[in-house]
Amino acid sequence: MAAAADPSVPPPVPPRFLVRRDAPSRRNGALRGRRGEPPPASLLQPPVPCLGDAAQIPQRVDKIAVRQLSQVCLLSFFRSSRELWTILLGRSALRELNQIEAELNKHWQRLLEGLSYYKPPSPNSAEKVKANKDVASPLKELGLRISKFLSLDEEQSVQLLQCYLQEDYRGTRDSLKTVLQDERQSQALILKIADYYYEERTCILRCVLHLLTYFQDERHPYRVEYADCVDKLEKELVIKYRQQFEELYKTEAPTWETHGNLMTERQVSRWFVQCLREQSMLLEIIFLYYAYFEMAPSDLLVLTKMFKEQGFGSRQTNRHLVDETMDPFVDRIG
């Protein structure tokens, strides 16, 4: 005699479909059809999400299925700032209101941190990179070289490298191996990644500018989502961005001694142009913020003293690097 079924154990899931608990049995013919024909869509569970917590996965999926699912799905996904900027512009496949809201909820902290999102190198971060078995050794070595050249956190440098390879690298895996084995090609790749890094920094500021420009525009389709995000940024945004502005115009220019042999005179000039551009964008964000929110007298006094100290853009710490091509940035800051 067959043993009685344990009522606490759910019945097995059909191999091709996840059937709702309230679905009628096969006896009433509801699931009956031509051979090979799937059941009606109304009787099927929604597809199991690849990302998210286990509570979202239907109860009929057992622990083994969850483990298999986690092996297939990408559980740690990083969104580049440029990709986030594209999404906010409505130029990506993610255009639904709930998708825009989800992206902003996930990344608003990065927007609040601004340029401070990128951390300086540290021994602890370097050790974590070296101990990471999920990253190939040649990529680790290149990531550490990128870290030195950009004075960027080692883990973030490897992450930056991976994003660049995914988004901008046009070669194959075999060609990448060749590049990593050739010193001249490796140096050229590092310089391209530096340009990508500068663009990533700029895109963070572009995202915030975009939010502040349209969060009160009734005609914009994402106005509500933008406004919710600005509410989260409101209290600390100006304080953080003002500090970043001060740090930028006081920062000493990199040298080959501190950043390696790739930091040539041309690369120093490239760095300084980026520095001026970021100063300009930070000020634009600060003043656009005060177009919507009241400025306290104490804040006005702090800004006035800061601008006077800096000579309205003309007294840069690295003013010896300023040439005619940089005048538009200096004028914009002033």
Q: What is the greatest pairwise CA distance in the chain?
A: 94
Annotated domain spans of the chain: 62-333
* Cβ neighbours of residue 111 closer than 8 Å, sequence gap 6 or more: 204, 207, 208, 211, 229, 233
Q: Report yes or no on whether pTM surpasses 0.85.
A: no
Radius of gyration of the chain (CA): 26
pLDDT string in tens for the chain (334-residue length): 445 555 554 454 444 333 333 433 333 333 333 434 443 443 333 333 333 333 333 333 333 333 332 232 333 468 999 999 999 999 999 999 999 999 999 999 999 999 999 999 999 999 999 999 989 999 999 999 999 999 999 999 999 999 999 999 988 888 999 999 999 999 999 999 999 999 999 999 999 999 999 999 999 999 999 999 999 999 899 999 999 998 888 888 899 998 999 999 999 989 988 988 999 999 999 989 999 998 888 888 887 777 777 765 556 665 556 656 665 655 566 5
* Cβ neighbours of residue 165 closer than 8 Å, sequence gap 6 or more: 176
Reported as half-sphere exposure (CB side, CA atoms, 13 A), residue 54 has a value of 12
